[in-house]
Structure 1
């Protein structure tokens, strides 16, 4: 039987844990994402974070950001760390700079919270985890996607038992890669033990995408197996976003349970237009052991008898809850951050996307601050972040070896890691593993 909602332990308690003093934070990077995505949210999280400084080698951007927060601008990471107005940093830089910035902060005992994808290489993610552990520094990955309304609801359905045991996810044309990997880890509650990937490319009608001419489409099918016999099939198209009539983001995803399905799909080429529903075949989930020996009249027919559309409630401009009213009762996830974000103006042209990102950012920033302050264990650990990177790079390794099954966690060096490192060295003009050279490069290319 489905558990009552009150029996399902919430991700965040009510009230939220609040430290005696907010965490003093410096923003590393003052670009568009730091300004338009992070700043409006951080301004509403004063019980947890106090944004006191910003660091960016682009002086105009740093000065403008500092004026917005009423803090101090720095143009050099060493100067910021030497002055130490902060306890921790939020790192919102290009992926190519994330390793160098993190390693410098860790070396100097500064806690760091970093935007995905947490570098480009498995050896980078592994190096950050090992260095932070040795230094006693808190590092975290700011992963948004398992904190979106549909994923929070899927986690709630899993815990409720409404669909029985959920043993498989099929995802097509969503955010294949680091984002989705983190979703699957969080849902499974453990790390995968193997992966397999097949890639395929085909010529397509030439078109413009992000200002570039595109005449080829890449396709990939990734399989991730978890030790609790949970399987994910994550399928991607290199075009995405509904081009050439393909299914638009957020794609099509099904969570397969013993006695039903949670379905989520895009409904138009507009990225954030989507719908979801729960489908269950019987009033009670059949027992797992029911099989060939069970009386025929005791087995479900397989026909869907309970279809429950999901609805999203709003508090001001923010989503406050996602709910399905089923015949067995209401299943609901409540957004504890809605009251803090209700009047934050949207920055995205697609309001649904803006809503999803704001709560997700609030969620992982508060999670980080609470971890530094010792108020709770983080929902997504550095080891989880490392595994997401292993899944990303490991899939490329599997495809490079014609779909070979790759055991996880990955031990030793990868051929594809070396290839990516060489490509980055040629593009950047510096070894991406050389902290000093990469930090100097950021000054040159400001």
Structure 2
């Protein structure tokens, strides 16, 4: 492909180095890194060396030189609004990492400003591209387990990521939520370079049109302190079957489709199901391809795809990027984000996760917090108190940093704690 998208990498810290460094060189069919930008010398020098691109120490210097058509933003979340708005004002298409930003007011401004400036803007949400999620949506669309009325997550993931997954699963935004929260102290421990001394248990039930109920239950989504391991438990319940994913060790899981043969529905056997395992396909260093019912991270395996055999036929999802050396499901999900954004920016191709959905994921967080404050009362996603709660959070951000969170220049000039 000759019409590559020239991109600048803005924010070259931990997320950029762990994910973008590994995947972007393998996506040369879609993108070309033409600049890197970070106020910290060690970050920008590492990125400049890795990609062979010029380095900039400030966003203003980068925008003045303008060596790019688009940008990938992986700065601290509190800076996302300012960076996004400046890029939109300069006509630069951009992809912003999750979480989107601190407040709903900022999120709306990001989406509206990009639209006014005819800039292609997306949030780099990738959890909905997990192999089981992709297969589950295919199975639901085909009616493989009947009409789905309930989806339950336990210690899977909670918050912005799952809110985004829910919208894709439901095919719409929720209309209301009931939520409860309870905090408990824990021993001090460090996980993913963060200090923890407590955890908050959250129980959220989102109501969608047509009666679909999606529930999140989680207190420690990292599986620390002996809690249920990642990837957690997901159960999708249809009228005559279920799709179930469960942990089988830390970052190891298995999934299956459970169907009840018609003869068992009324023969006195109790309506119990038959299991159809979801199988993952891998290629090892010797080029041998094998299937496994276990999903696992492994340095010596390349993930090729996943499938399940049902009476209705074979349902499959593939890692389109395996021939390029994109080896894990997580890397494949991120590669899909980059490819789709590239095609959106260059040719206006559709993208399933829109800015409106990104804003809704943040709205869902606020609505759940409001319901928890009301001790579990049902809160509509249009409740005006959501705006007041967002104003509270806006004030907290202002107090934390000492300037208006909507002051683009002040936020852009601030050097946030090392990501």
Give the counterpart of 2:324 among 340, 358, 382: 340
**Displacement of 1:157:** 1.2
Structure 1 gaps, min length 5? 1-18, 287-296, 345-354
Residue 78 (str. 1) matches residue 60 (str. 2): yes
Select 1:435's aligned residue among 405, 408, 413: 408
| Alignment counterpart, residue 273 of structure 1, candidates 224, 245, 252 | 252
Q: CA deviation at 1:432?
A: 2.2
State yes or no: 1:308 paired with 2:290.
Answer: no
In structure 2, the residue matched to 1:291 is none
Q: Whole-Å Cα distance in 2 between the matches of residues 285 and 330 of structure 1?
A: 22
Match of 1:146 in 2: 128
Hey, what does 1:364 align to over in structure 2?
337
Gaps of 5+ in 2: 285-300
The answer (yes or no) to whether the contact 1:307–1:326 under 8 Å persists in 2 is no
Go from structure 1 to structure 2 and tell me whether the alpha carbon gap of 1:252 and 1:443 turns closer, same or farther (over 3 Å shift). Answer: closer
CA gap 1:240/1:273 in 2 versus in 1, 3 angstroms: same
Change (3 A) 1:305 1:169: closer
Equivalents in 2 of 1:373, 1:214: separation in Å? 43
Q: CA deviation at 1:192?
A: 1.1
Measure the CA separation in 2 of the matches of 1:409 and 1:360.
32
What displacement does 1:40 show?
1.7
Q: Does 1:385 align with 2:364?
A: no
In structure 2, the CA distance between the partners of 1:110 and 1:164, relative to structure 1 (3 Å rule), is: same
- The CA distance in 2 between the partners of 1:284 and 1:23, in whole Å, is 56
The correspondence for 2:114, drawn from 122, 132, 139, is 132
**SS state at 2:414 partner:** helix
Q: What TM-score do the two structures reach when normalised by structure 2?
A: 0.89
Aligned to 1:374: 347
Give, in angstroms, the shift of residue 358 of structure 1.
0.5
Q: TM-score normalised to the size of structure 1?
A: 0.84
1:260 Cα deviation after fit: 0.7
Q: Is the 8 A contact 2:27 2:335 kept in 1?
A: yes
Q: Deviations over 1:118-145 (max 9, x none)?
A: 1011111111111111111110011110
Equivalent residues in 2 for 1:111-122 (5 A)?
Answer: 111-122=93-104
* 1:217 is the counterpart of 2:199: yes
Task: Indicate the residue corresponding to 2:230 in structure 1.
Answer: 249
- Supply the distance in 2 between the matched residues of 1:262 and 1:179 (Cα, whole angstroms): 20
Residue 26 of structure 2 aligns with which residue?
44
Q: For structure 1, which segment, 372-381 or 68-77, has the greater mean C-alpha deviation from structure 2 after superposition? A: 372-381
Distance 1:126 1:90 in 2: 19
**Mapped pair 1:319 → 2:303:** yes
Instruction: Give the aligned partner of residue 262 of structure 1.
Output: 243
- What is the distance in 2 between the residues matched to 1:66 and 1:285? 63
Deviations, residues 142-176 of structure 1 (Å, cap 9, x unaligned): 11100011111111211222111222100011110
Work out whether residues 390 and 410 of structure 1, in 8 Å CA contact, stay in contact via their aligned partners in 2: no
Taking a change above 3 Å as real, the CA distance of residues 319 and 54 of structure 1, as seen in their structure-2 partners, is: same
Q: Which runs of 4+ in 1 moved over 4 A?
A: 211-215, 283-286, 299-302, 409-413, 443-446
Contact 1:258 1:285 in 2 (8 A): no
Given the superposition, is the C-alpha separation of residues 226 and 413 from structure 1 closer, same or farther in structure 2, using an over 3 Å criterion?
A: closer
Local SS of the residue matching 1:163: coil
The superposition leaves residues 367-396 of structure 1 with CA deviations (integer Å, 9 ceiling, x where unpaired) of 111111125211111101011111112211
* Structure 1 residues 253-299: Cα deviation after superposition (integer angstroms, max 9, x where no partner): 1011111111111122x2x111111111125999xxxxxxxxxx5x9
* Structure 2 counterparts to residues 392-403 of structure 1, below 5 A: 392-403=365-376
Call closer, same or farther: CA 1:284–1:207 in 2, change over 3 Å: farther
Shift of 1:29: 0.7
Preserved contact between residue 315 and residue 339 of structure 1 (Cα < 8 Å): no
Residue number in structure 2 paired with 1:349: none
CA positional deviation for 1:76: 1.0
Query: 2:194 & 2:42 partners in 1: Cα distance?
Result: 28
* Superposed counterparts of 1:46-61, under 5 Å: 46-61=28-43
Indicate the larger mover: 245-254 or 24-33.
245-254
C-alpha contact (below 8 Å) 1:99/1:119 kept by paired residues: yes
2:396 aligns to what? 423
Change (3 A) 1:319 1:219: same
1:37-91 Cα offsets, whole Å, 9 max, x none, are 1122111111111111011111232122112111110111111111111000000
* Corresponding residue SS for 1:383: helix
> Match for residue 186 of structure 1?
168
Counterparts of 1:13-32 in structure 2, within 5 Å, are: 20-32=2-14
CA distance, structure 2, for counterparts of residue 442 and residue 274 of structure 1: 39
**How many angstroms apart in 1 are the aligned matches of 2:385 and 2:322?**
44
Moved more, 367-376 or 81-90: 367-376
* Residue 3 of structure 1: aligned partner: none
